[in-house]
Amino acid sequence: MPLAHFDGALAVVTGAGSGFGRATTLALAERGATVIAADIDLPSAERTVALAKTLGSSGAAYQVDVADAAAMEAFAAEVKDAHRVPDIVVNNAGIAVTGPFLDTGVADWERILGVNLWGVVHGSRLFGRQMADRVANLPNKPDKPNLGGHIVNVASAAAYSPSRTLPAYCTTKAAVMMLSECLRAELAGSRIGVTAVCPGFANTSIMKNATIVGVGEAEREALRARAERGLRMRNYPPEKVAERIVDAIVKNKPLVPVNFEGRLLHALSRVSPSSLRLLARIPSPQG
- What confidence tens digit (pLDDT) does each residue in 14-48 have? 999 999 999 999 999 999 999 999 999 999 999 99
Query: How confident is the model at residue 232, as a pLDDT?
Result: 86
Give the integer Cα–Cα distance in Å for 22 and 241: 11
The DSSP annotation for 204-228 comes to SSTTTT-EE-SS-HHHHHHHHHHHH
286 pLDDT higher than 70: no
3-class state of residue 145 by DSSP: coil
224 pLDDT above the threshold of 60: yes
> What three-state secondary structure class fits 236?
coil
Query: What pLDDT score was predicted for residue 272?
Result: 96
169 flagged as catalytic: yes
Please give the pLDDT value at position 280: 93
3-state secondary structure of 141: strand
Three-state DSSP class for 199? strand
> According to the model, what pLDDT value does residue 231 have?
86
For 86: left if phi > 0, alpha if psi spans -120 to 50, otherwise beta; the answer is beta
pLDDT in tens, 191-206: 999 999 999 999 998 9
Residue 3 pLDDT > 70: no
Percent of the chain with pLDDT over 70: 94
Residue 170 has pLDDT above 80, yes or no: yes
Question: Closest Cα to residue 57, out of 22, 15, 7, 21?
Answer: 7
Residues ≥6 apart with Cβ < 8 Å to 79: 12, 36, 62, 86, 127
Confidence of residue 1 (pLDDT cuts 50, 70, 90): very low
> What one-character DSSP code corresponds to residue 195?
E
The upper half-sphere exposure of residue 222, i.e. CA atoms within 13 Å in the direction of its Cβ, equals 5
Region of 110 please: left (phi>0), alpha (psi -120 to 50) or beta. Answer: alpha
Q: How far is 27 from 9, CA to CA, in rounded Å? A: 13
CA quadruple 54, 59, 62, 64: dihedral, nearest 10: -100
Q: Summarize pLDDT for 174-184 with one digit per residue, the tens.
A: 999 999 999 99
The identity of residue 110, as a single letter, is: E
**Helix, strand, or coil (residue 12):** strand
What CATH number matches the domain at 10-279, 3.40.50.300, 3.40.50.720, 1.20.58.1290, 3.40.50.150? 3.40.50.720
Report how far residue 206's alpha carbon sits from residue 104's, in angstroms, rounded to the nearest whole number: 18
Catalytic residue among 62, 160, 169, 236: 169
pLDDT at 287: 38
The DSSP code sequence of 246-273 is: HHHHHHT-SEEEEHHHHHHHHHHHHH-H
CB 25 within 8 A of CB 52: yes
User: Is residue 112 over pLDDT 50?
Assistant: yes
The single-letter DSSP state of residue 140 is P
